[in-house]
């Protein structure tokens, strides 16, 4: 059995923090022809992304996008996403990263909440998801739209423009139509873009991502340029990521993890490798063809199907240097055996409010420790565990709520001061809503959720959000959502429903009520009808509902 033997990897050294567009400029100057992103359908160099993004930014500015405007991006992981994202950054706007799994109900909430003025989308995945159809369902007034006239929607008063990469769509501009607005004004627009970039501060908001908390709807989590860079330098430092190396990233770019890793690649001069859809055979082919050194599936539901394929072996993939993944201990050890001996799996803990990653296990730590514990606070981050009832800090080994400050801490929830105040505490401590312990050496172990959340295939699902949606059916009197363990997805949602008097609503009717309106991973896999609820003095005892499963 032959494995590549690697020399000790040099430490990673970082420069100052910069706005995201300035990071791309620096890399495009230093390594213009190096690959920045690889997708199944295309590869893009740093030079190509900068040139195309700046041209796109001209069109945005010519169309009236102002510095600080909120521009929505509704796309999968695709080359068009990179052009849209960096185009928004060059225009000095804020990228609102709309979840491409959102359906009409969720999109109709998110767009007006975040004061989105423009939405950029694509037809690249039409055979799988008709994103234009989702937008149309969310905003019925689009039926009366007449591009290129600005939109006037009662459902989203600030939304004035749709732009779609790909084939024409009546309410939207194509990129070519957008760019035509800049024709003859290139020098003037370039000067305006440069002025906007010079005015940016790394601590300004760069993007918003949507996170499901215990409230009934997703919240818009504001992340700065600097918070993304600070958080993801922890990853780059620990794996000793070198310029020119590549990372496989199945995490969607509309999540903090995907956007964080794209930022990390821009920061270090690495290559971002991804696919619009998760197909294990396609992923292994990319890993082998491009000799991808770093794998970041994050969840065992994404790692296991890839590492289980016969084409992926410790010998064929001996170039792999690291993998980041969480999962049950048995699965973690199984995955570790599939990797080359020099390629450690690293456990991780993070959230949108920490810009995606908070702590990461040291790759040089003992195997059992790094596979079962998330790691220690990196430089610039403080951790503490507090009693959920009293708020008092507890000692090593005692379970409580995980709180942190520093690093990639978010700036708050947009248009939601109440939830911001509940999450950003005195002293800038961030309440995670998750349970854990710190051992005597400062290693963090995640031990479940304090808040009423499900983790479905790596996606956070707020029980309250699904409960609120289902309660909108005329036949539903009361509903409670609980998680049922699932070997493939980790857990899946199950609904307990009490019918309204006289209602005979069926399971199939409620399934159809959900389809096309909320993301598929949020739809309960089973609906149980119930007449009496297990109660404490005032609340439904969800643990007893779980026992019924």
Q: C-alpha angle with apex 407: 368 to 99, nearest 5 degrees? A: 85
The per-residue pLDDT for 7 is 58
Domain that holds residue 537: 453-548
For residue 480, is it within any domain?
Answer: yes
For residue 359, is it within any domain?
Answer: no
Domain boundary, last residue among 141, 170, 205: 205
For residue 2, is it within any domain?
Answer: no
For residue 245, is it within any domain?
Answer: no
Helix (H, G, I), strand (E, B) or coil at 382: strand
The per-residue pLDDT for 2 is 41
Buried b (16+ CB within 10 A) or exposed e, 401-439: bbbbbbbbbbbbbbebeeebeebbeeeebbbbbbbbbbe
For residue 313, is it within any domain?
Answer: no
For residue 526, is it within any domain?
Answer: yes
CATH of the domain at 493: 3.30.300.30
| Alpha-carbon distance values, 86 to 2, 20, 166 (Å) | 42, 8, 18
The per-residue pLDDT for 17 is 96
The pTM of this model reads: 0.87
Q: C-alpha angle with apex 171: 168 to 173, nearest 5 degrees? A: 55
The per-residue pLDDT for 461 is 87
Q: What is the CA radius of gyration of the chain?
A: 23
Please identify which residue in the block is written with the tokens 């082919």: 285
Burial of residue 529 (number of CB atoms within 10 Å: 0-12, 13-18, 19+): middle
Q: Give average pLDDT by consecutive 10-residue segment, the chain, 549 residues.
A: 55 89 98 98 96 98 98 97 98 97 93 98 92 96 88 95 96 96 97 97 97 72 98 97 98 96 98 96 98 95 92 97 88 91 96 97 94 94 94 94 97 96 97 93 87 84 85 88 90 94 94 94 96 70 85
Domain boundary, last residue among 160, 188, 205: 205
For residue 408, is it within any domain?
Answer: no
Positive or negative CA dihedral for 234, 240, 245, 248?
negative
Question: Which residues have a Cβ under 8 Å from the Cβ of 195 and sit 6 or more positions away?
Answer: none
CATH of the domain at 120: 3.40.50.980
For residue 484, is it within any domain?
Answer: yes
Q: Angle, nearest 10°, between helix axes 256-268 and 225-239?
A: 70
How many structural domains does the chain have?
2
Q: Distance between CA 91 and CA 490 in Å, rounded?
A: 40
Cite the DSSP H helix spans in 291-441.
300-307, 329-338, 367-372, 417-423
Please identify which residue in the block is written with the tokens 């089973």: 526
| Alpha-carbon distance values, 42 to 82, 290, 313, 471 (Å) | 12, 13, 26, 44
Peptide bond into 165 cis (omega under 30): no
Question: Which residues have a Cβ under 8 Å from the Cβ of 447 and sit 6 or more positions away?
Answer: 399, 435, 436, 437
Is residue 189 within 8 A of residue 182, CB to CB? The reply is: yes
Q: Which two tokens stand for residue 438?
A: 């710190």
| DSSP tag of 8 | P
The per-residue pLDDT for 213 is 53
The per-residue pLDDT for 537 is 45
| Alpha-carbon distance values, 452 to 111, 399, 448, 458, 493 (Å) | 25, 17, 10, 16, 12
545: Cα within 13 Å, side-chain hemisphere: 25
Is residue 74 within 8 A of residue 121, CB to CB? The reply is: yes
Helix (H, G, I), strand (E, B) or coil at 159: coil
Question: Which residues have a Cβ under 8 Å from the Cβ of 63 and sit 6 or more positions away?
Answer: 118, 161, 173, 178, 181
Domain boundary, last residue among 175, 205, 235: 205
Is residue 356 within 8 A of residue 236, CB to CB? The reply is: no
69: Cα within 13 Å, side-chain hemisphere: 24
Q: Distance between CA 34 and CA 47 in Å, rounded?
A: 8
């Amino acid at each position: 059995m032959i494995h590549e033997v690697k020399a000790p990897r040099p430490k990673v050294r970082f420069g100052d923090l910069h706005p995201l567009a300035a990071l791309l400029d620096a890399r495009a100057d230093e390594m213009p022809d190096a690959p920045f992103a690889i997708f199944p359908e295309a590869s893009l160099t740093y030079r190509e992304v900068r040139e195309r993004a700046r041209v796109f930014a001209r069109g945005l500015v010519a169309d009236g996008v102002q510095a600080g405007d909120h521009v929505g991006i509704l796309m999968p992981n695709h080359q068009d996403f990179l052009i849209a994202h960096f185009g928004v950054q060059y225009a000095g706007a804020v990228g609102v990263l709309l979840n491409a799994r959102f359906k009409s109900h969720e999109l109709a909430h998110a767009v007006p909440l975040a004061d989105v003025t423009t939405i950029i989308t694509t037809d690249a995945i039409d055979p799988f998801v008709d994103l234009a159809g989702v937008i149309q369902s969310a905003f019925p007034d689009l039926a009366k739209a007449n591009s290129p006239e600005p939109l006037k929607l009662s459902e989203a008063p600030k939304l004035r423009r749709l732009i779609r990469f790909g084939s024409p769509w009546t309410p939207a501009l194509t990129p070519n139509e957008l760019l035509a607005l800049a024709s003859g004004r290139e020098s003037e627009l370039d000067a305006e873009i440069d002025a906007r970039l010079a005015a940016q501060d790394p601590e300004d908001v760069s993007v918003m991502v949507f996170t499901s908390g215990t409230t009934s709807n997703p919240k818009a989590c504001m992340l700065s340029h600097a918070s993304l860079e600070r958080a993801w330098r922890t990853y780059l430092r620990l794996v000793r990521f070198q310029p020119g190396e590549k990372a496989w990233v199945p995490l969607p770019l509309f999540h903090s993890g995907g956007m964080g890793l794209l930022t990390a690649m821009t920061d270090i001069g690495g290559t971002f490798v991804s696919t619009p859809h998760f197909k294990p055979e396609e992923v292994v082919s990319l890993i082998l063809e491009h000799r991808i050194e770093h794998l970041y599936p994050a969840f065992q539901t994404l790692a296991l199907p890839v590492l289980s394929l016969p084409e992926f072996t410790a010998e064929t993939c001996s170039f792999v240097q690291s993998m980041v993944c969480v999962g049950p201990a048995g699965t973690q050890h199984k995955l570790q055996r599939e990797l080359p001996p020099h390629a450690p799996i690293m456990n991780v803990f993070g959230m949108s409010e920490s810009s995606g990653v908070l702590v990461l296990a040291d790759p040089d730590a003992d195997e059992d420790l790094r596979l079962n514990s998330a790691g220690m606070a990196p430089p610039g981050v403080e951790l503490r565990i507090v009693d959920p009832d009293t708020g008092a800090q507890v000692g090593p080994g005692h379970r409580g709520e995980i709180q942190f400050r520093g690093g990639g801490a978010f700036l708050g929830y947009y248009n939601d001061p109440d939830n911001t105040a509940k999450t950003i505490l005195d002293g800038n401590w961030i309440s995670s809503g998750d349970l854990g312990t710190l051992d005597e050496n400062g290693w963090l172990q995640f031990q479940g959720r304090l808040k009423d959340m499900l983790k479905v295939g790596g996606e956070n699902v707020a029980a309250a959000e699904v409960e609120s949606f289902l309660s909108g059916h005329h036949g539903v009197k009361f509903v409670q959502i609980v998680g049922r363990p699932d070997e493939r997805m980790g857990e899946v949602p199950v609904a307990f429903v009490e019918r309204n008097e006289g209602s005979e609503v069926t399971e199939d009717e409620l399934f159809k009520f959900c389809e096309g309106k909320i993301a598929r991973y949020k739809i309960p896999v089973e609906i149980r009808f119930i007449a009496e609820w297990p109660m404490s003095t005032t609340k439904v005892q969800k643990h007893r509902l779980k026992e019924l499963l």
